[in-house]
Structure 1
Amino acid sequence: MHHIAVQTDDVESTVTWYQEFLGATAEWSLNKFSPLTHDRLPGIKKLVELKVGDVRFHVFDRTGHTRNEPDRLGYQFQHIGITVDHHDELVMLRDRWLRLHERPDIRWSRDEPPSDIVTDDDGMQSLYVLDPNGLELEFIHFSGKAS
């Protein structure tokens, strides 16, 4: 997998959140696009590639965006699962999300807090959070007994 594309109506706010929440770095940005890109994504104005480890996010905007949050029952990628090495990282991510939620420079489409950290019967621990656009990310820690 090369990247995950995130369509937003606020590139700067979304980039800030991914940088502050995940420690992503901005690798490059574009503001000129091929005819094919314009045909596929009418109104695209800016794209920023963010990178965290081997995961890349392409954050882009489009004029005429509906500003509607993702339809929870509609067709979509329901969430992205990202593994972390230690339980403490789940705690740190949850605390970081709560701090970032208070920032006035990040605009949120949904006012839904992160989940509690839950452990399934096999020992896998999960934390679910929403990015500013209402897209769900799951952070997973596999204990010794989880597969």
Structure 2
Amino acid sequence: MSLPVSLPVDEPAAPGTDPRAALHHLAVETADLDNCVAWYTEFFGGTAAWTLDSFSDLTRARLPGITRLTEVVAAGTRFHVFTRAADYTPPRPDTFQFQHVCIAVATAEELRDWRERWERLHTSGRFAFVRPEPPTEIVVDADGVSSFYLYDVNGLEYEFTHVPAEAEGR
């Protein structure tokens, strides 16, 4: 299965052109670091690269109460999974956050594989899910684009999509 979230940056932008950027990591806050790291490692087929429990002043200012952070690396994508002190009060649930992250896959078959992987891990009973809702069905729109949605162990939403025209251009 491919997970082409990171975009390569081959060379600096030429003067007078728009700068290019690439996704470095997705930061995922969780109340249960061990559960979340285990799920991200198994679901995305990654490895826990490193863990921190000491942070810069800037990090502590941006993420008050941060206690631990583990980087999970999967298919060239980094997930920075972190937790905060028990006395940290998170923002209200209606605070604006990302609605979802969309991950492109190369084939429609890979969509089915990702959906089945989520179901296997959920039914294994090894992970605690904040929103144990099953993934949506895979839908195909009029342009042949296939997609489905799922929630991670924290209730964060991911979309997985296959765009045939993009796959042909690879």
3-state SS in 2 of match to 1:102: helix
Aligned equivalent of 2:153, options 129, 132, 135: 132
Q: Which has the higher Rg, Structure 1 or Structure 2? A: 2
Matched, 1:119 2:140: yes
Separation (CA, whole Å) in 2 of partners of 1:56 and 1:102: 26
How many pairs does the alignment contain? 145
Specify every segment of 5 or more residues in structure 1 that has no aligned partner in the other structure, as ranges.
none
Return closer, same or farther for 1:14/1:145 CA change in 2, 3 Å cut-off: closer
Aligned to 2:29: 7
1:30-79 residue CA offsets vs partner (Å, 9 max, x unmatched): 111112222222221110111222321100000135589x84x5411011
Structure 2: 5+ residue stretches without partners:
1-22
Q: Distance in 1 between matches of 2:97 and 2:60?
A: 22
Of the three residues 89, 106, 109, the one matched with 1:85 is 106
Name the structure 1 match of 2:56.
34
CA contact (8 A) 1:122 1:145 kept: no
Partner of 1:109: 130
Q: Distance in 2 between matches of 1:114 and 1:11?
A: 22
Shift of residue 23, structure 1, vs aligned partner: 0.6
Point out 4+ residue stretches in structure 1 off by more than 6 angstroms. none
Q: State the distance in 1 between where 2:52 and 2:127 align.
A: 22
Match for residue 100 of structure 1? 121
CA RMSD of aligned residues (A): 2.3
Tell me what 2:164 maps to: 143
User: Separation in 2 of the partners of 1:62 and 1:144?
Assistant: 42
What TM-score results when the alignment is normalised by the length of structure 1? 0.88
Higher strand share: 1
Give, in whole Å, the separation in 1 of the partners of 2:41 and 2:166: 32
SS in 2 for 1:9: coil
Question: Kindly, what percent of the aligned residue pairs are identical?
Answer: 47
In 2: Cα distance, 1:39 partner to 1:144 partner = 44
Q: For 1:17, give the aligned amino acid.
A: W
* Residue identity matched to 1:82: I
The answer to whether the Cα contact below 8 Å between 1:9 and 1:67 also exists between their aligned partners in 2 is: no
Q: Distance in 2 between matches of 1:84 and 1:134?
A: 22
**2:97 is the counterpart of 1:76:** yes
Task: State the TM-score, normalized to the length of structure 2.
Answer: 0.77
